[in-house]
Each structure stands twice: as structure tokens, then as C-alpha cells.
Amino acid sequence: MNYDDPKNADFLLRRRLILGVAAAAAALPFAGLSSCSKKEEGKAQLLQVGGLPVTCNLTLPVACTAKAASNLAGTGDNRFEFQYSKYSGWPEIKESLMTGRIQAAYMLAPLVMDLADKKVPLKIVSLGHRSGAVIMVRTDSNYQSFSELKGKRIAIPSRFAVDFLFLRKMLAKENMTPKDIEIVEMPPPDMPAALYANAVDAYCTGEPFGAAAQRAGYARPLRMTRDEWRNYICCVLTVREELIHDNPAMVQDLVNHVMGAGTWLDIKQGNRDKAVAIAAKREFFNQDPNILKFVMETPTDRVTYGDLRMIRAEFEDLMQLSMEAGTLKHPVAYESYINDSFVKNAKPTTITL
């Protein structure tokens, strides 16, 4: 039996049970960690970097794999080793960063702003991607504009998610507000099946959870950030301030690899195919490579990675949108949550996978 088939009545229950187990595992010391290097621990300083199995985080598995390959070949700075730490949701990553259990992770930009405002010692040091969010409706629906979604039930991952801000921007285009729809928060892996079962009328999330339903044939994008919000910022590389203070060379090496991974991903489709093969592995996203490949090809700029510049005006626009959404209560100083020195000093690693 295929338990990932949304036609299976047990799909949602099994999915939630799996997520529950993953969340519990994430709370245990070193749970959910997968080594990005075959070198023995102790031969290099090890940095665990948290991430979710979403294509907005794709630069992380590529960066980890490239770092391991260069260490093995003796062609890079082998003082450091990066290790991918897979989490099931943003709350788990947030908790691990706050407590210092991990020193670095991909995080939601507005959530970092909020934590920094609450004096949690975190700094964004690089972007992780551009674009990558979609709003999906059923293929057999007649929806073409957001005015037709009035009174409908729409799923979002979290009110801190930039996906929610994207939804708000699209509603504003139709002179609507979130009060005109019913919003429900839902784990993204549950969204395709919820749409299939008519439990929601639409959902807004990052990939590959839009592509999964589209490729299966029962859903289509109503709107995509690639068309509506080209400078979209969502997942950002975030580190604890003590890591910046104690080991700036390690942070710089990580940023170099992430930026190199972004450039490599956008150079040609063949590199994206290689990235799919890497990310699909059990130790990384553990997902169907055909779905990841669909994201990378349909269309090819559904998610982009090459432009990882940190532009102050874009972050401040995101902050303003977050205040309007109520997820931030007041302005947060740019310098309190950003350290752009590593991007400014970056020498993006040449990826040779």
C-alpha cells in the first residue's frame, strides 16, 4: 500500500504521527543529525546546521556535500566540517537555536527579527534562496483571482511564515484582507492531502509541497512568488552571536559554501539534477527525487538561488509587512538581526560536485 497516496484515508493520520515522532526526536540530544562527511569526528571542528526538508533550504545539502568532498580531497579549508541536522518544523529549530543546542540554521527571516528583538543572540549572515512559494488550488476549481476565494478556507504553515505575507500581498491586490477568508495553520506536508480531500480550498506554502500536488494532477498554482514577488525573502542562514565571536573563520567558510552552492545551482540544469540526487537521500530531505526534480524544472525559476545578496531595503520591507500582519509589534533595528560582513567578504566556493 502506498501511504503517501492522498487517496489513502489514513494519509493525514499517518503523516501527523510521523511528524510527531520527528518532532520528539528533534528534542533529543543530537537526534536527526546526518553527517555530511565521512571523516572521523575530531579531525575538524564540527558545525551542525539545522534545516527543513524544503527546496528553499536546498543550498544547505549542496554546501555540506561540497564541503565534505573538498575535505576528503584535501582541496579546501579542512579545519571545519559541516553537518546537516534535519528538523520537522520551525518551532523545533527555533528552540534548538535559542537554547544553543545548535549554533546555525536556516530560519524564517521575520522569526529571526522577533527573536533578536527579544534579545536572543542571533544574526542573519546570508540568504538561502529567492522565490519558492506557491498558492495552490484544485485543478477542477474555477478560481482565477483571489476575489473568488472570499469566504474560503486557506491553509498556511504559520503566521510567522513569509508565505502568509505572500498571501496577504495577493489579497491586497484584490482589495481584500485576511478577514475575508478563513485561515488555518497546518504543517506543509499535510496540505496536498487536505486539498485533495476538500478540507481546504487552497493552501500557501513553500516547495516541494505545491509541486507534489501539481505533479499528481489534482492541483495547480493560482499564484507563484516567481511572478508576483521576485525579491521574496524567506529562509535565511542564521547563526548564534557567540559563534561569530568565537569562530568567525568557520562562519565565513559556511557562508562561502552556501553562496557557492547558490551560484552552482543556477548555472545550469545539470547542476540542479545533481542537487536533486543529493537532497533526495535519506540523510538529507528523504523525498521523492521526481517531485524535487519537478520543482527544479516547472518552471526552472520556480525557486532561484544565485542572488543571495542581503539588501537592507528588502529586509525593512519585509519587517513592515510583518508589522502589518501583526507578527511583529514594532520596528526592529536592522543591525540587531543582521551581520552582513560575511556576505560582503565572501569568496563563494567553486562547487565541483
- Given a cut of 90, whether residue 24 has pLDDT beyond it is no
**Consecutive H or E run containing 202:** strand 202-206
3-class secondary structure, 96: helix
Residue 5: count other Cβ atoms within 10 Å of its Cβ: 12
What are the distances in angstroms from CA 109 to CA 79, 118, 199, 238, 340?
29, 14, 29, 9, 14
Choice among 40-49, 199-208, 239-248, 303-312 with the minimum mean pLDDT: 40-49
- Given a cut of 60, whether residue 217 has pLDDT beyond it is yes
- Strand 104-108 versus strand 80-86 pairing type: unpaired
3-class secondary structure, 155: strand
* pLDDT per residue as tens digits for the range 124-159: 999 999 988 999 999 999 999 889 999 999 999 988
AA letter at 76: G
Q: What mean pLDDT is predicted for residues 12-20? A: 39
Q: Which pLDDT does position 317 carry in this prediction?
A: 94
Query: Which residues, other chains included, contact 344 with Cβ-Cβ below 8 Å and sequence gap of 6+?
Result: none
Q: Which pLDDT does position 163 carry in this prediction?
A: 94
C-alpha to C-alpha distance for 261 and 64, rounded to whole angstroms:
9
- Given a cut of 50, whether residue 191 has pLDDT beyond it is yes
3-class secondary structure, 243: helix
- The x, y and z cell numbers of residue 60, run together, are 544547505
Q: What are the two backbone dihedrals, phi and then psi, of residue 165, each rounded to the nearest 5 degrees?
A: -65, -35
Our CA angle for 304, 308, 312, nearest 5°, is 125
Q: Which pLDDT does position 30 carry in this prediction?
A: 35
- Given a cut of 50, whether residue 39 has pLDDT beyond it is no
Number of H helices, E strands in the chain: 15, 13
Q: Which pLDDT does position 89 carry in this prediction?
A: 86
Q: pTM of the prediction?
A: 0.85
What is the DSSP annotation of 4-73?
T-TTSTTHHHHHHHHHHHHHHHHTSTTTTEE-S--SPTTSSEEEEEEE-SSGGGTHHHHHHHHHHHHHHH
What class does CATH assign to 11-130+233-344? alpha beta
Query: Which residues, other chains included, contact 150 with Cβ-Cβ below 8 Å and sequence gap of 6+?
Result: 176, 180, 181
Q: What mean pLDDT is predicted for residues 190-217? A: 96
Identical fold, 11-130+233-344 and 133-228? yes
Of the options 3.40.190.10, 3.20.20.60, 3.40.50.2300, 3.90.1300.10, the CATH number for the domain spanning 133-228: 3.40.190.10
Average pLDDT, the chain: 88
AA letter at 116: A
Q: Which pLDDT does position 193 carry in this prediction?
A: 97
What are the structural domain ranges in the chain? 11-130+233-344, 133-228
Do residues 87 and 286 make contact, with C-beta atoms less than 8 angstroms apart? no
Q: Which pLDDT does position 288 carry in this prediction?
A: 95
- Given a cut of 70, whether residue 326 has pLDDT beyond it is yes
Q: Which pLDDT does position 158 carry in this prediction?
A: 87
- The x, y and z cell numbers of residue 311, run together, are 539588501
- Given a cut of 90, whether residue 22 has pLDDT beyond it is no
Give per-residue burial for 213-237: e unless 16+ CB within 10 Å, then b. bbbbebbbbbbbbbeebeebbbbbb
